[in-house]
Amino acid sequence: MPTYNIIEPSVNTLQLNCTICLESLHNENQEEQMIICETVCKHYFHKQCIDTWLSRSEECPLCKTSFGNRRQRPEDNFNIEEFLEQEQNANINALGQADDCIICLQPLDRKFNILCPNNHDCFHEECARIWLHSSNTCPICRQNSQLPVIRPPRNIVRVRNLNVPEPRYQTNLNPLLPNRQEFFQNLVNQAVPPESISLQNLKQAIRTATENYLAWRGNGRGFFHRGNTGKDRALNFRTEINNYNGATSDCWQYIANTIRNYPRHNHSYTSFILNSFKNIPGLRLRNFDYTLDTREVKNERYRLLDGGLLQINIAEQQARNLKAIVLGNMESQRLFWRICFNENEPLGLSTTGIAKKTVNLQNNDRLTMMTTAGQERFRVITRSFYRNAQVIILIGDNDELRDFASRIQDNDSVPVVWVSLPN
């Protein structure tokens, strides 16, 4: 029994492709119509393609039906004159050789390896990519396979600024990533910690301010303090706040209303209190040394004490919808998405040029990550690109991270996180 029979083109084969060369079984140019074969397992191929395949294998390229020695026998309706004419007219000298691509059957100028158990490498890169786009099995051994992760050449990375700012947080991405939510939760906690303010935060800030103020008074600064009014005021206020057991927001209102009536010179107790408050992230005070006597610091000190502190809302922390910009070259983007979200490529990146992904975090927080295509071509990354983001996530190896970090301009507020990808 023959391995296949030659059939006439029909409606049944009109929409089909030869799964060896990936071309249509039909040719619009009837003079160049290739011969179509139907195997005993009811699959269709170009005769030229299946003959070349069977010269190497005794199994069907699709279902792995074994043909055994039958692959050497001619089909029942085989026409030797037609076959010889076809072989003579076709340029097949390079087909069927050991250095042919097993998918398109054309000569290989460079071998491309795919990640399968047998590490097969007899493909053109483009053929392998087309094949694995529609199938996750190796064209030869039919084992699960995927495209290799190709890191860009190191010598194309150019750090544009040697004085690269250090990231707020840096971490390595585990290629197995056992817990995606935990990874991103830790990243968010380090980059943009929750801004809820507890009663303990306020008590500790007042204790620290009092200690620093009393230490400053005792070190002899060239100022004469008449009596112990300032010292007693600080000690009494510390005791009062330390014993407070009401709501956090009420305590904050009491502190703001009380200290607005205290002296507000650069060396006054209030300046030390403001220095303590600026270390509480949720208050978002400007990063000044409030004991300085410059005009800018003095104006800010007066603004806060005159009512600026009262305008700060420290109600219970609400669920946050955080936005992050992901920066890296295309290969790094694909690897990051593959590890984190089990996707070969960010959805939409190759069509619209933009991809988004949202991860649910603790306390109903949500992190939405956005990336764009072609970032490796950005000479600079301006504020308009990341202005709506609460986090900037850089991905890549160490050189790539520093390269992208050097391109970010005018960033003095958005935290930057470096994620080192596996090699």
SS3 190: helix
pLDDT of 369 above 60: yes
Of residues 142 and 172, more confidence is placed in 172
CA-to-CA distance for 304 and 262, rounded, in angstroms?
Answer: 13
What's the pLDDT at 90? 46
pLDDT of 137 above 90: no
The answer to whether the beta carbons of residues 325 and 371 sit under 8 Å apart is yes
Mean of pLDDT values over 144-165: 58
240-296 pLDDT per residue, tens? 999 999 988 899 999 999 999 999 999 899 999 999 999 887 788 888 999 999 999
Please state the φ and ψ torsions of residue 46, each to the nearest 5 degrees: -70, 140
What's the pLDDT at 222? 46
Identical fold, 4-92 and 98-148: yes
What's the pLDDT at 105? 74
What's the pLDDT at 29? 58
What's the pLDDT at 218? 78
Of 91-100, 138-147, 175-184, 270-279, the range with the lowest mean pLDDT is 91-100
pLDDT of 331 above 80: yes
Structure tokens at 87: 């072989």
What's the pLDDT at 391? 96
pLDDT of 314 above 80: no
pLDDT of 192 above 90: no
SS3 169: strand
DSSP string, 217-274: HHT--S----TTHHHHHHHHHHHHHHT--S-HHHHHHHHHHHHTTS--STTSHHHHHH
The CATH number given to 98-148 is 3.30.40.10
Give domain limits for the chain. Answer: 4-92, 98-148, 169-191+319-420, 199-308
Tell me the CA distances in angstroms from 370 to 262, 278, 384, 385, 409, one per residue in order. 48, 31, 14, 11, 19
What's the pLDDT at 54? 82
Nearest in space to 376 (alpha carbons), one of 331, 340, 312, 415 = 331
CA neighbours closer than 13 Å in the CB half-sphere of residue 117: 5
CA neighbours closer than 13 Å in the CB half-sphere of residue 267: 14
104-125 pLDDT per residue, tens? 777 777 777 676 777 777 777 7
What's the pLDDT at 92? 39
374-411 pLDDT per residue, tens? 888 888 999 889 988 999 999 999 999 999 999 998 88
What's the pLDDT at 28? 62
What's the pLDDT at 260? 94
Angle at 23 between CA 20 and CA 24, to 5 degrees: 120
Of residues 161 and 239, more confidence is placed in 239
What's the pLDDT at 257? 96
Mean of pLDDT values over 219-227: 57
pLDDT of 19 above 60: yes
Mean of pLDDT values over 154-179: 75
Mean of pLDDT values over 5-28: 80
Beta-sheet pairing, 416-420 with 391-396: parallel
The answer to whether the beta carbons of residues 133 and 126 sit under 8 Å apart is no
Which fold would CATH assign to domain 4-92? Herpes Virus-1 (3.30.40)
pLDDT of 183 above 80: yes
pLDDT of 73 above 60: no
What's the pLDDT at 85? 56
Task: Find the helix packing angle between 229-242 and 199-218, rounded to 10°.
Answer: 160
What's the pLDDT at 161? 53
Structure tokens at 375: 């970032």
- 84: alpha, beta or left? (left if phi > 0; alpha if psi -120 to 50): alpha
pLDDT band at 24 (very low <50, low <70, confident <90, very high): confident
pLDDT of 305 above 90: yes
Q: Can you say how many angstroms the Cα of residue 412 is from the centroid of all Cα atoms in its chain?
A: 22
pLDDT band at 199 (very low <50, low <70, confident <90, very high): confident
What's the pLDDT at 32? 57
Angle at 419 between CA 176 and CA 156, to 5 degrees: 110
Output the average pLDDT for the chain: 81
What's the pLDDT at 96? 44
Q: Residue 318 has what DSSP assignment?
A: P
